Amino acid sequence: MIKKILKWFITENCVSKSSSRSDAINQGHFASPQSLLESLKNRIKGLGHPEYPFLDAVYSPNSRVPCTDFSSFIVDCLKDGDTSTICLLLREIVAANPGLGIGPDWVDEMVLDVCGKPFEEYVCFENPNGVHELRALFILAGKDGGGREFLVTSSAPEIFSTALACQAPHWQPSMDELVIRANKFIRRMRRDTPYWKEFPLFKKESWAAPALLEHPLSIPLRSFSVSARLQLFYINSFGPCPLCKASDYSMRNLGLNHIETAREFRDTDFLVEIMDAHAILTLWSKKELANICENFGIDYRKGWNKEQLLHAIESKVPTVIEERMKQGGIFNVNAKYKSDFDSMKNYSRTVVPAMNLLCFS
C-alpha cells in the first residue's frame, strides 16, 4: 500500500528524477560549469521559485532556502574536483539576497575555504563518501553567511551528526588541536559579547565517541540522500505524520523536499502507512479543521478538540477526509527498524561535540 500511495503522490507532484551531477552529465552536458548548472536547473524544473529556480517556492527568496537537497550534486562535484560548479550553484542560492553592499563574491571564498579544509586530519569515515558529504553540508550551511565557528550556536552540528552517523566517523587525536582553537575563539568572543560568556569551553578529549561497528542500518542508509536520512530519523523520533510535515525548518533550510524524499522511500520498507484515527488528526491543525466546518456549514463549538471536529466532518462530508488522504498518506517507521533507528540516533548524539569542534577547523 505504501508503494501505491507514494507512487501516486510522486506522479501527481511531477517529481523530478534526480538532482545529482551524474544525471546532468548523462544528459550530455560536459563542457562547462555553466552547462552543468543549466542541466541541473532543467532536472529540478517545477520544484523551485518561478524567478529563482534553485530556491524554495514557499519561503521568501531572501531566506536562501533551496528547493531541494543539492548535497548529492555537490558531492559529485567534490569527487571530480569541480569547485567552479559548486560556486555557481551557491551563487544561485544566494542570488535574491547576496548580502547588502557586498555582492556574491564571499560565496566563492566560503566554498573554496570548505573545500580546502583538511577534515581528513580530524576524522575518517568507514565509507569514503562520508568526508564529501561532510563538506557538502558545511557548504550548504555556509550559504547563510557568517564564520563557520558560529554554527556551534545553531542546530547544524546535531543535524550533521544525525545525517552522517551511518558513515561511521572515526575521530583522530588531532581533534585536541581544535579544542585549543575553539576555546581561544570563545575566550575572545567573551570579551565583547554577553552571549559567549555563558558558552562553555570545550574539554580535552570531549570529542571522543565510540565507534559505530557493523550497525544494521549503516549500509542501507548510505544509499539515501542526506535529507531522506534526516526525515527517517525525524519520523522515528516524533511518530506518525505526513511526509510534508516530517521535518523542521533547520532541515528544510538545507534543502529537504518531501516530494523528492518520497521518491527515495517508494521502493523500501522503512516506512509503513498508518490509518488510525490518531494519525489522521496529524493532517490538520485545529484551526484548519474549524475552517473546514465553516466552509461546509457544519455546526461545531469553539471549545471542541481536534477529534470532535474531525468526527463532525467525517459524519457530514467524509469525502473531504478521503481526498486529503490521497494527497499523501501518514507514515511511521516500520516497527522492525525502530530499535535500530533509536540506537543510531543515540550514537549520533555522542558525535555532536566532535562535530561542534569541526566548525573550528
Q: Which of 63-67, 262-266, 315-319, 345-349 has the lowest mean pLDDT?
A: 315-319
Q: In angstroms, rounded to a whole number, what is the distance separating the alpha carbons of residues 204 and 210?
A: 16
Distance of CA 104 to the CA centre of its chain: 24
Residue 324: pLDDT over 60: yes
Residue 170: pLDDT over 70: yes
Residue 110: pLDDT over 70: yes
What pLDDT sits at residue 103? 75
Q: In angstroms, rounded to a whole number, what is the distance separating the alpha carbons of residues 315 and 312?
A: 5
What pLDDT sits at residue 58? 93
Residue 147: pLDDT over 60: yes
Distinct helix (H) and strand (E) counts, the chain: 19, 5
Residue 165: pLDDT over 80: yes
